[in-house]
Amino acid sequence: MIVVLAGGVGAARFLEGLVRVVPPKDIFVVVNTGDDEEFFGLRVCPDFDIITYTLAGLVDPEKGWGIKGDTFNCLDMLSRYGYETWFLLGDRDLATHIHRTHLLKKGYTIFEIAEDIRKRLGIECQIAPMTNEFVKTKVITKEAGELDFQVYFVKRRTQDTVIEVKFQNIEKAKPAPGILDAIESADGIIISPSNPIVSIGPILAIRGIRDALQSTEAKIVAISPIVGGKTIKGPADRMLQSLGYDVSPVGVAELYKDFLDVMIIDTIDAEYKKKIEALGIKAIITNTIMKSIEDKVNLAKAAVEAFKLI
């Protein structure tokens, strides 16, 4: 079993490669739910949906989120009724949130609902939301104070300077069923190229997960989401900087150094190999930019090969 800690778009692209390298039933994805939000009374789980839509071949390939070819008739009508519609929920996407909320109201957990959705979408790998608790990422900014994650990310387009990140409800959160066992008995663990603060950070903040990563015998490999001093997508570069970390694979390695065995870095960042290895982490240099399906497969192969190197 290979365990993958995952955020949204970067993780989904990596998983598209991994399912072609490893039998999907041998993959256990632990997905961030700190981005979750309620819109119009409906529970939306963006990172989970990005991953399931991607693996089911439904995702909008340009945006990396939402459903390709979706329409926005429901949102247009809601706008006429005076609702805020800055979070673009397509008509088909809304069906997922209606289904999820309906099952939540019937008493099913977010983990059980995730199992139902991924099976109905024909996905063979397990995808566990990190916890059944409604943990919400809050971003404290210099310009606008405390913001809900999606307000920071979508409504205000990540324009604000992040000075702190908090995870509301984290003290109540237990890992979802199967996560600790999967980490303990994994053949290998991969930290996907996701934002280390707001995508992987919430997963690591759940009671027991970081300890399990420190004590497992499985090798742990991370792929740097920072390439040439920038992120491919999202605000991780600016966030690392404003929070006082190095905007490089070294800054990411620092955040994972208590459990990480190998860091995969891009060829453009080869100069950081020595600094990473000084932290006791082996560095592997390869192309990490995932444009084509071949890029995704090659990166997945490099991650799986990395388990054998140590």
Q: How far is the CB of 309 from ligand FO1 (least distance, A)?
A: 30
Q: How far is the CB of 211 from ligand FO1 (least distance, A)?
A: 25
Q: Which residues pair with 139 in a beta bridge?
A: 147, 165
Q: How far is the CB of 96 from ligand FO1 (least distance, A)?
A: 8
Indicate the residue among 111 and 153 with the shorter CB distance to ligand FO1.
153
Indicate the residue among 97 and 219 with the shorter CB distance to ligand FO1.
97
Triad 151, 42, 98: Cα angle to 5°: 140
Q: Closest by alpha carbon to 264, among 309, 224, 305, 218?
A: 224
Q: How far is the CB of 245 from ligand FO1 (least distance, A)?
A: 19
Taking the mean position of all CA atoms in its chain, how far away is CA 4? 9
Q: How far is the CB of 102 from ligand FO1 (least distance, A)?
A: 17
Distance in angstroms (rounded) separating the CA atoms of residues 212 and 5: 13
Backbone angles phi, psi at 141, to 5 degrees: -120, 155
Of all residues in this chain, which one has the CB nearest to ligand FO1 in the complex? 8
Q: Which residues pair with 164 in a beta bridge?
A: 140
Q: Closest by alpha carbon to 24, among 123, 154, 141, 129?
A: 123
Q: Closest by alpha carbon to 262, among 271, 252, 16?
A: 252
Distance in angstroms (rounded) separating the CA atoms of residues 240 and 105: 38
Distance in angstroms (rounded) separating the CA atoms of residues 11 and 267: 20
Indicate the residue among 197 and 283 with the shorter CB distance to ligand FO1.
197
Indicate the residue among 89 and 209 with the shorter CB distance to ligand FO1.
89
Indicate the residue among 190 and 262 with the shorter CB distance to ligand FO1.
190
Indicate the residue among 197 and 300 with the shorter CB distance to ligand FO1.
197
Indicate the residue among 35 and 261 with the shorter CB distance to ligand FO1.
35
Question: Tokens representing 39?
Answer: 């819109």
Indicate the residue among 33 and 216 with the shorter CB distance to ligand FO1.
33
Kind plus residue range of the DSSP H or E element containing 252:
helix 249-256
Q: How far is the CB of 148 from ligand FO1 (least distance, A)?
A: 11
Q: How far is the CB of 46 from ligand FO1 (least distance, A)?
A: 4
CB atoms within 10 A of CB 149: 21
Q: How far is the CB of 301 from ligand FO1 (least distance, A)?
A: 25
Interface with ligand FO1 (CB under 6 A): 7-9, 35, 44, 46-47, 49-50, 65-66, 87-89, 93, 150, 153-154
Kind plus residue range of the DSSP H or E element containing 223:
strand 219-223
Taking the mean position of all CA atoms in its chain, how far away is CA 249? 17
Contact status, residue 300 vs residue 125, Cβ threshold 8 Å: no
